[in-house]
Amino acid sequence: MKIQRNDSVLVTVGDDKGPTPRRVTQVLDGGQRLIVEGVNLVYKHVRRGHPKSPQGGRLRMEMPIQSSNVVYYCESCQKGSRIGVRYTEDGAKERFCKRCGTSVGRVSPPRKAYAEK
């Protein structure tokens, strides 16, 4: 699960393909599917009396897309790149940009077994 919630991504395939980075709002199926802000918008027809729409009508909502159709957008590179996972000196696992090597954030707390001696 390399792409996480609130990451910026570039959509590489489909109708919403473009150079503008978008934010991931939800990760589903263990990272296989993502809901991305403003991508894959559909109309859902809702009957009258529904809690979200008491008068009925059409709701505009975002549907999930495959995680293989997006690439992580690195703010320091200003480009799309892959994400890798590595251990730091204190044994914590962190994500990093494979293009420039900058840290994206920690994934797990430090562990003695993986600390450099």
User: Domain locations in the chain?
Assistant: 1-81, 82-117
**CATH T-level fold of 1-81:** SH3 type barrels. (2.30.30)
| pLDDT at residue 68 greater than cutoff 90 | yes
Question: How high does pLDDT run on average in the chain?
Answer: 91
Q: How confident is residue 54, by pLDDT bands cut at 50, 70 and 90?
A: confident
The residue among 20, 11, 25, 15 whose CA lies nearest residue 66 is 11
| pLDDT at residue 49 greater than cutoff 90 | no
pLDDT at position 48? 87
The residue among 21, 11, 114 whose CA lies nearest residue 64 is 11
pTM of the full structure: 0.84
| pLDDT at residue 91 greater than cutoff 70 | yes
Residue 47 has a CB neighbour count (10 Å cut-off) of: 8
pLDDT at position 87? 93
